[in-house]
């Protein structure tokens, strides 16, 4: 399991918006993170190999949870449950054939493709959620 941390500080507009939001800021951050994770998960659903459908059906995005401090929010994008050993095997063994568009690294690739934009996307989502009252 890989863990990625994103700090959303330094953007003046984001800081002002979070201050103005007060108690709603945590909800906005959690919702933005969940939405971004869902985009990555949806792309992975296209790439995850399908034999019986159990692996594809075992995936999901967890609800956002608070971390160790009030400044941390986390989501998990996952595959597995009872199929976890199989999920790991299929994800990591790149020499196995998978009918296109499915492939190994079905979760890692969508994350890596989105990684350069995540901080900016999260900041924009948080601002929009607070300003639009979602």
pLDDT given at position 58: 93
pLDDT of residue 56: 94
CA distance 56 to 49: 7
Assessment of whether the complete model's pTM goes beyond 0.95: no
Query: Rounded to the nearest 10 degrees, how much is the dihedral formed by the CA atoms of 69, 130, 12, 67?
Result: 10
pLDDT tens by residue, the chain, 134 residues:
677 777 765 578 888 898 899 888 889 999 999 999 999 999 999 999 998 888 999 999 999 887 655 668 889 999 988 878 888 889 999 998 899 999 999 999 999 999 999 988 999 999 999 998 87
Res 10: pLDDT: 57
Q: HSE-up of 118 (CA within 13 Å, CB side)? A: 20
CA distance 133 to 59: 30
What is the pLDDT at residue 69?
59
pLDDT at 78: 94
Task: Determine the Cα–Cα distance for residues 54 and 106; give it in Å rounded to an integer.
Answer: 15
Q: Decide: 45 and 68 in contact? Cβ < 8 Å.
A: no
d(CA 44, CA 60): 10
Question: What pLDDT, on the 0 to 100 scale, is given for residue 113?
Answer: 96
């Amino acid at each position: 399991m890989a863990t990625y941390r994103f700090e959303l500080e330094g953007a003046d507009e984001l800081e002002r918006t979070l201050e103005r939001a007060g108690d709603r800021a945590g909800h906005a951050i959690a919702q933005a993170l969940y939405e971004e994770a869902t985009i990555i998960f949806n792309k992975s659903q296209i790439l995850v190999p399908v034999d019986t459908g159990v692996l594809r059906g075992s995936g999901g995005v967890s609800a956002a949870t608070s971390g160790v401090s009030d400044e941390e929010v986390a989501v998990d994008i996952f595959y597995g449950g009872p199929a976890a050993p199989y999920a790991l095997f299929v994800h990591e063994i790149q020499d196995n054939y998978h009918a296109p568009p499915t492939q190994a690294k079905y979760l890692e690739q969508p994350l890596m493709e989105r990684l350069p934009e995540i901080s900016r996307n999260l900041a924009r989502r948080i601002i929009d959620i607070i300003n639009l009252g979602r």
